[in-house]
Amino acid sequence: MGADTIKDFIWRKDLFYVEQPFRKANIEQMGKKKKKKNNMKRTHDEAFEESQNDLVLKLNQAVDFCKNKLLSNNEISLIQSEHTFNDVPFAEIATQQSDNIRPIQQIPLTDYFLRASKLGIQTNILYTHDKIHPSLIDTAIGGQILLPENCRFLWSDMKNARLLVSEGTKYSFIVLDPPWANKSVRRKHPYNWSDFTDIKNLPVENLIDHTKSSLICCWSTNCDKVEEFIKNELFTKWNCQYLTTWYWLKVTRSGEPVLDLTSLDKKSYETLILGYTGDDDDDRFSSLKNTTKIICSIPALIHSTKPALHMLFQNLINFPNNDIDHCLEIYARNLLPNFTSIGNEVLKHQSIDLFEEITI
C-alpha cells in the first residue's frame, strides 16, 4: 500500500445481492410439516402461541419499515461471482493439531511478516496485527488474506480456548456464535458442531472482565432448548445475568424476508441472547433490559456471517470503547478490527477475494 494513500476494504457488494426470497412455504407444505413436527413432539415450532404471534407481528412491522427504507436503493444490478476460499479445510487442520499445544505463544505480525511470501500461519499461536490500517498478508494455506486494523487471532480447536486464559487479557465485550447441533446438521454434516457439553466447558467466565460492566452476546438457533440452555446454564456458569433477547431479521434488497415468517421449518430470523455482568445501575445496559429489538439487514451469501454487533452497540450505547474495552469473538469465522478472534475457522472469510478496495 502506498504511503500517501490510505486504503480500506469492504465486503464485496455482490455478496449482498439477495434479490429474491430463498424459499416460500405454501399452505399445503406447512400443513404437512406441522403434522410431522407435532408427531415429533416439538414445542417451539408447533402452531404459533400468543408469544410467537406477537413476535411475527413485530417482524412484519420490521419488514414494512425495511421496504420503505430500501425502496429507493434498488437501482444497482450486480452479478454474483464464485469464490473458492471456503475449500481450505481450516476446521479439519485445527482438529488434527488440537493436541499439539504448548504454553501460549504470541507473534506480532511486523512489516517483515507482512512482506513475506507464502507465510506459514500456524494453529495454536496468538497473532497480533497492531497497524492502524488494514494489511494484506500472503499465506501458504489460503493465499492473500486481509487483516483488519488492530486485530488479534488464534486459529485453534475450541477445546484449546484455555490458551487465551493463560495469555491474561480480560474482555468486556464478548460475542459467541456456536455451531449448534440439530438433526439436519447431524444427518448432513455440513460443518463441525459443538454439543452442549463442549460449549459449557469453554472458560468464558475466566475471560470476562469482572472489574467492570461487561456485555455478552450469544447467537442461538430458534429453539427453546438452546435458548434456555444459554440463559439458565451458560449465563449461570459465566456469572452473567440475562439482559434481553433480540432478533436478526434477514431481508432481500427490497425488504422482503428471505423466508416465510410463519414457516414451520427454517426461519427468516436468528435469535441473539444478551447477558451482562457488573453494576445493575449501569445506564448503558439497563436501557436495553427487556427490550425487543429487531436487527434488519441483507445477509451475506456466505455461510454463518453475522451483523457487526460492536458497531450496533457503539451507536446505541457508546459501547464498547475501543480505547478501554477489550473485545473478543469466540467461534469466529472472520476477523474484526479491535477484536481478538478465536475459532477453528477464524480465517475462513478473510480471503481478499471476498473484499473490494476503497480509498479514504
69-102 residues labelled b (16+ CB within 10 A) or e (exposed): ebeeeeeeeeeeeeeebeebebbebbbebbeebe
For the chain, the farthest-separated pair of C-alpha atoms sits apart, in whole angstroms, at: 66
CATH code of the domain in which 173 resides? 3.40.50.150
**Residue 257, pLDDT score:** 93
**Residue 37, pLDDT score:** 46
**Residue 324, pLDDT score:** 92
Residue 144 placed within a domain: yes
Residue 187 placed within a domain: yes
Q: Is the distance from CB of 92 to CB of 86 less than 8 angstroms?
A: no
Q: How many of the other CB atoms lie within 10 Å of CB of 119?
A: 16
**Residue 210, pLDDT score:** 92
- Whole-angstrom distance, CA of residue 234 vs CA of residue 325: 22
**Which structural domain range is residue 212 located in?**
7-16+77-359
Residue 56 placed within a domain: no
- What's this model's pTM, rounded to 2 decimal places? 0.87
Residue 35 placed within a domain: no
Residue 63's contacts (CB-CB under 8 Å, 6 or more residues apart) are: 249, 251, 255, 256, 257, 261
Q: Coil, strand or helix: which one is 229? A: helix
**Residue 3, pLDDT score:** 53
Residue 319 placed within a domain: yes
Digits of tens for pLDDT over the chain (360 positions)?
455 566 789 988 888 888 888 765 444 444 444 444 444 444 444 544 555 788 899 999 999 988 888 765 655 555 555 555 557 888 888 888 888 777 889 999 999 999 998 999 999 999 999 999 999 999 998 899 999 999 999 999 998 999 999 999 999 999 999 999 766 655 555 556 788 999 999 999 999 999 999 999 999 988 899 999 999 999 999 999 999 999 999 999 899 999 988 877 788 999 999 999 987 777 888 889 989 999 999 998 887 789 999 999 999 999 999 889 999 999 999 999 999 999 999 999 999 999 999 887
**Residue 190, pLDDT score:** 52
Residue 31 placed within a domain: no
At which residue does the C-alpha cell 487442520 appear?
Answer: 93
Looking at the structure of the chain, the number of domains it has is 1
Residue 126 placed within a domain: yes
**Residue 50, pLDDT score:** 52
**Residue 28, pLDDT score:** 43
CA dihedral 294, 297, 300, 305 (to 10 degrees): -30
Residue 48 placed within a domain: no
Gyration radius of the chain's alpha carbons: 21
Residue 323's contacts (CB-CB under 8 Å, 6 or more residues apart) are: none
- DSSP letter string, 155-206: E--GGGTHHHHHH---BSEEEE---B--HHHHHH--S--B-HHHHHTS-GGG
